[in-house]
Amino acid sequence: MRRVPALPLAACLAVSALALSAGAAFAANGELGGGFLEMLLTGSAGSPHSRPSMSSPAPADPVQAPVDQQTAALTPGEVEVGEPAEEYRRQVVEYSGREAPGTIIIDTEQKFLYLVEPGGQAIRYGVGVGRPGFEWAGVRTITRKAEWPGWTPPDQMLLRRPDLPRHMDGGPDNPLGARALYLGSTLYRIHGTNEPDTIGRNMSSGCIRMMNQDVIDLYNRVRVGTKVVVM
């Protein structure tokens, strides 16, 4: 298999413009996700990490069958399903970094999320990430998982965007999509999206977006307590 440049292990989730002035301190005053609506997020820069080595896609995808079975939970008509560019479609790559199997690594520069697997491999998913001015870096853990999550904007965002709903129930119209993985006590989530065309782009206000099929697959593979390295 052909080798490609190493994947960074520093973290890079999105922050709000207000949080940039706060430096390295996280604000833990609530949890928020979704880049579909403009969000006022807080975060901090984390310590840089060396980059592990990632390879080009394997010629065969041994996880494709279980992936299809797991995403069967997303029934037709629940959400609009689009196709990302070929490079952002789920595939298997080689991995030779230091992170243990089960770790999630997010490369926001390249717009990829990796789930490290045993045997020197990783499952690679395409993601949408924070737009300029909404970045942070760090290592977090998944503290909660939710199916078809609801969304409640925090008070500080409602001050900035009084037009936003006070609460939105989970469902096809919710910007958090089919699943959400909450990252520590931060305002960030890895979640689905009802805007599949944003995969591979800098469009969110901090959270990491995935295709709904992909976030369901990831949701089924990881547990609360999973380590997440974002660069």
If DSSP codes are grouped into helix, strand and coil, which group holds residue 147? strand
**Contact by Cβ (8 Å): 209, 13:** no
**Contact by Cβ (8 Å): 43, 18:** no
Tokens of 25: 């301190």
Task: Give start and end residues of each alpha helix (H) in the chain.
Answer: 17-20, 64-70, 155-160, 212-221
DSSP 53: P
Q: List active site positions.
A: 191, 207
For 5-57, list the strands marked E by DSSP: 54-57
Tokens 């494709």 found at: 64
**Contact by Cβ (8 Å): 49, 230:** no
If DSSP codes are grouped into helix, strand and coil, which group holds residue 46? coil
**Contact by Cβ (8 Å): 57, 91:** yes
